[in-house]
Structure 1
Amino acid sequence: HNIQRYMSLKTWISLATGATIATWLTLLGVEYPLLWGMLAFLLNYVPNIGSIIAAVPAIMMAFIQLGVGSALATAGGYLVVNIVVGSIIEPRIMGRGMGLSTLIVFLSLLFWGWVLGPVEEIAGKREQVPDAWKRVVWPTAFTDLSAEQEPGIRDRRWLLFRRIAVSNDVEARLTVAADVKLQVRLNGSPIGFMDASAQMSQPMHDELMLNQKKPFPIQLLQGENIIEVAATQLVGTRGFRLELMTPEGKPVPVGILDEGPDGEDLSEEVVRIETHQPLINGGFDAEGMLDGWITGEIDPGGSIRFTAEAEHLVTGTRALRAEIREPGAGGIIQRIVVTPGKKYRVTALIKAADFKGEALVGFFTGRIGSWNSRSKPLRQDTDWVQISFDWMPGTSRTTYIACYLKGQSGTVWFDQILLEEI
């Protein structure tokens, strides 16, 4: 019954979309307006990209027939129709037409939960890890997709959603800050796409990620609303922040519905993630020695080889071995997410042999080597020694940690890197 009701409503919405497009193209004088209207009607059933595909041939026809001005007017018409119908009219009709219940329970924070995933890309195919929805409650606005997970060695795909309720229709802003790819839907309709995945080989645009929010205007309907987030987590990225705000920037009071999706199998255990894990695989003991880490920028002409060391360790099963093969500088890096204003302590084990240069553990944003804070450089051969230093991130939520060396020759080992809040 629900599926039939949904398809009936979707058909009427698609008819309105097609008729509006045909009328607009007729007014502009574009040939075959009924054909383009029919195409808009049919492709409106295709989520996300259907409206884009429908617009392309009509815009090309307008350009060929009438010139650049008419092509831009055609594109503008498609844009306005899809924003008004897809972001305002369709969510309202779907919410009311599907009979969503009313619940007046107010909370001041939006807690995220119900995580399906991760789904990892393996040889071009998706492999679903759990068989049922995993019930997870995130008590903070930041969703750390790496928490309680093995370090990512492949891109992962996640589907998250939260069922909320409001007492009245509300104009709101869903503010998003992320270093992953996100597609957000409200009550089944797309409201925004964000691709903030990192240029991980040379991270230079952190200001576009977890430190800066992008607002998406939304209309919350009286009663129940469902927000879906489809996230693609590239290797080295961490997660996202989502918050519901009024146009004036105040939190939207919402009720949280915890009973889960109808018709889906649910795991019985409820996991509450109280904190996120800033540093992953600091002991290099994961299945892949560099899981969670990536190779940062290395000086042109230089060559540094990173391998696993399994002998003569202080603890654990492996350490990182960095051998300078050609004079230069570089290191391995990991994006970390921290709490602004907190103080952290970094400890690590390090040793060197036949080494002519300097080695350290440090934090940076922008280019590797532009340190925000770092350990005292090691400049001589030594057996395993522990290094330690304190660091505060200031107002930043994300930065990079690096195991770094530069020099003429020699080998340096890193192990047991820990980052703890103090």
Structure 2
Amino acid sequence: MQQPDTITDRFFRYVQIDTQSDPTSTANPSTEKQKNLSRLLVQELHQMGITDAELDPWGYVYATIPANSPKPNIPVICFCSHVDTSPDVTGANVRPLIHTAYDGRDLVLPDDPTQVIRLADHPDLAGQIGNDIITASGTTLLGADNKAGVAAIMTAAHRLMTTPEIQHGTIRILFTPDEEVGRGTEKVDMAKLGAHFGYTIDGESVGTLEDETFSADGVRITIQGVSTHPGFAKGKLENALKIAADLLARLPKDTLSPETTEGKEGFIHPGHLEGNQDRATLDFIIRDFTVAGLHEKEAYLQAQLDAVLKQYPHSTAELVVTEQYRNMKEVLDDYPAVVDNALEGIRRAGLNPERRSIRGGTDGSRLSFMGLPCPNIFAGEHAFHSRQEWVSVQDMEKAAEVIVNVAQVWEERTPAL
């Protein structure tokens, strides 16, 4: 009898499919090639006996593992990962390599020997001695973000479908496109998904659960200067680019920036500037763990802009704030069982759970505010968005084990009617 695929088999198969998303595209999904992996996942889910697995026109995969518990009132739980990889580094022609029984030595990636994964630079490798480390070959990213999560969900799904003694309620599976370009939940059909609670499988170190994220706003400042011929500009020209530069120069050098903050500290980050002497636009991202903190930073930015404009009396500027996402903890605090059951699932895998805050956002942030409280469980991903990305086989196996455990915990902790 043919042996079932291992999690390594699945992972190797998935990372060799190029699913890079494109932030400049207006299509849904942003790249059609993401569907190549999604179609394969639907096919594999059908082969497991999950008959309703489907790929919708927007690139989302929906599937159901039917309940096998006699309890009729178990909440429907969703497990979610994204299929796309980061636009930052190419995801084409990925050549995954396995470094068995890691012993602490430097991992030199053969297709570009300048790419060396060193223990000193990747301290989480200290916990991987004896484990099997998967990397790419040095010229591409690996795609563990988030194909490690995809492989874990698929492995757990196979286990649940083939092990009837593991009792659970209805499980929904969701694979999304375009998470890396901030559009991973844009076309999710929440009514179709029909889940009460969820978990993204898209975290880093083994045993971690992330139940708090940044809150995030975008700010666009549009500056209207006074343009005139530079040969006759004295006393008339107010250069919009110089106004923008003066604003940037007023931002503090030792605080309030990504490069000077950590932990629960937020920041103001200029990400894009374009224009000419007549008109310029500046795009910022504002991050904090509280909405009040966002508003403080936006008010600070407005004050600096007002101060600059005093030097340019005939110019104007407009600052527009766009809400991006909010801290999932605002929702999760109202549903403590979602986090408690995940922590128990991690413990049952023989791990010491660690709750973390994300200095960023996830699909789970948006899903939480769309009605699906959704913390983030580890998948073992490390060095995201880089050619030194790595994951261990054993961490992915633990992630799959935790998914199964969480399904069991929800069943056990749901009282019988």
TM-score, L = length of structure 1: 0.28
Greater share of strand: 1
TM-score, L = length of structure 2: 0.29
**Larger Rg belongs to:** 1
Pick 1 or 2: higher relative contact order, CA cutoff 8 A, min separation 6: 2
